[in-house]
Structure 1
Amino acid sequence: MDRPNIPLNALRTFETAARQGSFTNAAIELRVTQAAVSHQIARLEELLGFQLFHRKRGALELTSEANLLFPVLTSSLDRIGGILDRIQGNRFEETLNVGVVTTFATGWLLDRLEGFKRLYPEVRIRIFTNNNRVNIAQEGLDVAIRFGDGRWSGLKAEPIMTTPLTPLCAPSVASKLGGNKTNLSNHILLRSYRSDEWPLWFIEAGMAPPLLEGPVFDTSVAMADLAAEGFGIALLPIKMFESRVTTGSLVRCFEEEVVTGSYWITRLSTKEKSSAYDAFENWLIQTSSS
């Protein structure tokens, strides 16, 4: 196909709609009307000679042809954007949009980012926190740091650190426990949305898991806040809350730990590593092991 005949604005509209999964969300990102998005897509389909989307109720589904075009187009636009980001004020800069699970951001990463900036002043890090549910493509991220087993469809993942979970609570609650694990049944056990964590810890401690009826949270930070106030006992990654243990707002109830996952740095498998990504990944892995 002759390059001058490729409508770049229509290609950008298609990439945004495919990434967002709807014309409405694409219109919001592009700051145009939904009708303008539909017009651009129709124009592109007419020029290309094939359909890009199957329109289904409440969702868009890429056709087989569009599935071939989408990752190539995303990569090309990202590379163009990366070069433009790097040419600022006659300085060679790169911007890295990093999605981070809140617990890791507040408990480890943010306190150490200055060290990265000193080593790589040409790389600008933009942090976007989440509750471990993140879509790299739809949210326009280059990187996502998340907790789990490292198996996510369509993503490349490298481990950063393993963080064992152990019960943490306020000093007043710890004194009531008296070092006796059987007393846990007399207290509220704060739970994350990963329902297997407390049962696995009880098994590790040599006990039958009790019936769990405590509130469920989507972030460990909220559980830590409530535990520090004496509301209950939270099963937390102690590495992420060392500062609270050091200050005494949280104390370790028992020595038993359980590993249910690790923190990973992830990227789209269809996207090549940039020099900024390489620098950030290497720094994360080296700093976490030191």
Structure 2
Amino acid sequence: MSPASRGISIARTTPVNRRWLPLNALRAFDAVGQRLSFTAGAQALNVSQSAVSRHVISLEELLGHKLFDRSGQALVLTEAGKVLLPEVGKAFDRLEQTMNAICANPAASRPIRIHIPPTLLQQVVMPMIQAFHAEHPDVRIDISSSHAVGLPSTETDMAIVFDRPNIDDRVTDLLWMVRVAPVCAPQTAERHKGKTLEQFLADAPLLHVKLEGQPRGLLWSAYANQCRIALDSDRGLAFDANALAVSYAMQSDGVALADIDMFAPEIAAGQLVIPYDAVINDGFGYYLKLRADDLADPTISMVRSWLIAHFAARGHAAHEAGLS
């Protein structure tokens, strides 16, 4: 009986080299780990259960650590297994996508998958896309969008995330720091003229942005706390994106909490006004995140550098216009 099958962990003293990567064993581990069943994993790979079990044991012996706890009635990933499984899955996903792209068009590179929050995509990135394709016509970009705070649930090559500063294992670049203030239509501001900020927000309908997994009034509550005013931050309408909330504010008596730099064109055009000099940095920003290993991909590295440079230029332009 092997040390791994007896539940003994023996740390490797030499690093694993890619020349020795046991691809069949990794496929077996991925199949079993995704299903937490040797039987189901074997069925998925169309091989015998004993073959899958041998492959997993050989992988455990190579690593010197158990990947599954087999002691109970249900199969459970060990801590080592929890670390390895998502990385194996990502690697196989990448290989599958690249090989399918080559089959479909051998001359084309695989698309770079980028997540961008919807309002940033609409207000800032959309105008950049044409310029990017003019400079790099051979680079294919697949864009996804969601309303999450932090990293999206879908797998991407890089993600622009709306979040507060945090430390994780990703390479992180600040692209855009948010400066927010209540904004509304000019006629709404005129109707409430003479009120304090607290009275204005108490009397006007609040417009919210829904953020996945976050309380409804999170952003308004943070704003009120920083301005030291009382506010019932849960009332009012909620929208899937800040751009929708701002659009509604321009056509109604509602008040949206918006990034004044992102909506500078609407403010400059007089469609939107900032009725109170109460602009704050609420701690949120847009950060570009990607895995350190992916910087070895020259296309991903180039896209990252391009985004950083063009966001910096966009910020400089806003400053020159007197909007920063």
Give the TM bin, normalised by the shorter chain: 0.7 to 0.9
Q: TM-score if structure 2 supplies the norm length?
A: 0.68
* 2:173 is the alignment partner of 1:158: yes
Cα pair distance change 1:196/1:40, threshold 3 Å: farther
Cα pair distance change 1:4/1:227, threshold 3 Å: closer
Cα pair distance change 1:258/1:92, threshold 3 Å: same
Task: State which drifts further: 64-73 or 237-246.
Answer: 64-73
Q: Write the deviation string for residues 229-276 of structure 1: whole angstroms up to 9, x where unpaired.
A: 315211111233234334444322223211121110112356544222
Gaps of 5+ in 2: 1-15, 61-65, 314-324
Q: Secondary structure in 1 aligned to 2:300?
A: helix
Contact 1:174 1:253 in 2 (8 A): yes
Deviation at 1:130, TM superposition (A): 0.4
* 2:57 is the alignment partner of 1:44: no
CA RMSD of aligned residues (A): 4.1
Cα pair distance change 1:143/1:79, threshold 3 Å: same
Q: Secondary structure in 2 aligned to 1:157?
A: strand
Cα pair distance change 1:173/1:23, threshold 3 Å: farther
Q: Write the deviation string for residues 94-120 of structure 1: whole angstroms up to 9, x where unpaired.
A: 411111111111111112111111222
Distance (whole Å) between structure 2 residues aligned to residue 275 and residue 87 of structure 1:
22
Q: Corresponding residue for 2:248?
A: 226
Q: Corresponding residue for 1:283?
A: 306
Aligned AA for 2:277?
E
* 2:211 is the alignment partner of 1:211: no
Aligned AA for 1:191?
H
Percent sequence identity over aligned pairs? 16
Instruction: Report how many aligned residue pairs link the two structures.
Output: 275
State how 1:107-256 maps to structure 2 within 5 Å. 107-133=123-149, 139-151=154-166, 153-178=168-193, 180=195, 181=197, 182-192=199-209, 193=214, 195-202=217-224, 205=227, 207-215=228-236, 216-256=238-278
Cα pair distance change 1:237/1:45, threshold 3 Å: farther
Task: State which drifts further: 213-222 or 235-244.
Answer: 213-222
Q: Corresponding residue for 1:103?
A: 119
Contact 2:117 2:162 in 1 (8 A): yes
Contact 2:294 2:300 in 1 (8 A): no
Q: Secondary structure in 1 aligned to 2:262?
A: helix
Distance (whole Å) between structure 1 residues aligned to residue 121 and residue 35 of structure 2:
32
Q: Secondary structure in 2 aligned to 1:103?
A: helix
Distance (whole Å) between structure 2 residues aligned to residue 231 and residue 16 of structure 1:
55
Deviation at 1:54, TM superposition (A): 6.1
Q: Which has the higher Rg, Structure 1 or Structure 2?
A: 2
Gaps of 5+ in 1: 25-32
Distance (whole Å) between structure 2 residues aligned to residue 65 and residue 150 of structure 1:
29
**1 or 2, which has the higher strand percentage?**
1
Cα pair distance change 1:128/1:73, threshold 3 Å: closer
Distance (whole Å) between structure 1 residues aligned to residue 31 and residue 219 of structure 2:
38
